[in-house]
Amino acid sequence: MDRQAIDDKTAQHAGKINELTPREIVDELDKYIIGQDKAKRAVAIALRNRWRRQAIDSDIAAEIMPANILMIGPTGVGKTEISRRLAGLTGAPFVKVEASKFTEVGYVGRDVDSMVRDLVDLAVNMLKEEKSRHVAEEAQARTNARLVDLLLPSARPKPGETETDRSRVESTRRRLRGMLENGLLEDRVVELDVSQSAMPIVEVFTPQGLEEMGINFREMFGNLLPPQPAKKQKMPIKDARKIIEAEETGKLVNMDEVISLALERAEESGIIFIDEIDKIVGGDSKHGPDVSREGVQRDILPVVEGCAVTTKYGMVRTDHVLFIAAGAFHGKSPSDLIPELQGRLPIRVELDSLGAADFVRILKEPKAALTRQYKEMLAAEGIEISFTDEAIEKIAASPPTSMSGPKTSARGGCTR
């Protein structure tokens, strides 16, 4: 399989990573995340190994499983941000879930398969947006043509109508099209037929759990349901443009192709980040919730090992999805996880706690540093602000005023 075939197979989303070595991947992560070199190296190698597997032109490629990663470190040191930036670097679908929200089958809560369904939903939306950008120019042209028809319908030639009359109408339509393209008629009111939604969202109780699923009843029952009447609404052209452009984009985008590529992308390049995995580690007691926690681990195990999950778009296998688990493990140890799950997280990385010197770097160096964010926000108010080194050091050394106040993480952001 040559390089072009690899790019075609992965719908061009692997183009960036094909050009990056693990060292270069780490360099990209360094732009946003301070420190944590061991974790960066681990995820960079895992990402490069994924591309290496896709480049193998033999049956053994299907046997190469991803080396899933377990990150250990306190809250706010950059575990989630490393994974999120890694996915953004390659355009891979990325989902973050909290293990504490899952429950064993038979308990109230979300089932573990929902993380895969969320990943597929995200992949479909990503592919739909990409395809929409490809047809944006044609969709805009079609939208303007329909808006011209709303402003001045193109009627059939009438008896007795001269060629001059038809030329005058066509000239007026061309002038209207030019005004629309230049945004000169955005406040003009038009009457538009707006179709009613035929896809109600209902909650379906399934053996896998209570999930919110989009059910297209018209596809299920064919012509048994009466047609949905269109409703005429008056609105400015700027609002009508959004509705028409969405309709025209939907006509131009082949959803069957989108779903097929999205399923492949989720299977081959998806990343699932399981946070707070230490919260499902049972204690010494085997009563009450501890039993449920071990049950959640056993439910997560087949998903991490590789299984087929049913989604509303079709079956998805998780064999080559990269799983990154993380937890503080305060008062607990990764060895408290069930042995089978430990074996499916072979790469173990401990992230360092942050000190005052790290916070100084966090406030100054990342592209999205807090100091830069506040400069831009205040500039919108016409206020120019600068931070001296002494001020930044003072901020970094100051303890938080309360547990509910903002907390600075290794990515240089602000969370609560």
Distance from first CA to last CA of the chain, Å, rounded?
A: 47
The DSSP secondary-structure symbol of 185 reads: -
pLDDT of residue 199: 42
Element (H, E) at 412: none
pLDDT of residue 404: 39
pLDDT tens for 267-309 read 988 999 999 898 888 655 444 445 467 888 888 999 999 899 9
Structure tokens at 308: 């087929």
Does residue 243 contact residue 194 with C-beta atoms inside 8 Å? yes
pLDDT of residue 103: 64
**Residues whose CB falls within 8 Å of the CB of residue 87, separated by 6 or more in sequence, listed in order:** 93, 94, 271
Three-class SS string for 300-360?
HHHHHHCCEEEECCEEEECCCCEEEEEECCCCCCHHHCCHHHHHCCCEEEECCCCCHHHHH
Does residue 255 contact residue 314 with C-beta atoms inside 8 Å? no
pLDDT of residue 166: 74
User: Other CB atoms closer than 10 Å to residue 88's CB: what's the count?
Assistant: 13
pLDDT of residue 185: 84
pLDDT of residue 303: 92
Determine the Cα–Cα distance for residues 251 and 138; give it in Å rounded to an integer.
Answer: 11
Low-confidence residues of the chain, pLDDT below 50?
A: 1-17, 106, 108, 198-220, 222, 285-289, 291, 401-416
The DSSP secondary-structure symbol of 110 reads: B
pLDDT of residue 63: 86
SS3 assignment, position 34: coil
pLDDT of residue 376: 92
pLDDT of residue 160: 62
Of 359, 381, 357, the closest CA to residue 370 belongs to 359
Structure tokens at 408: 């600075």
Tell me which residue has tokens 């402003």: 151
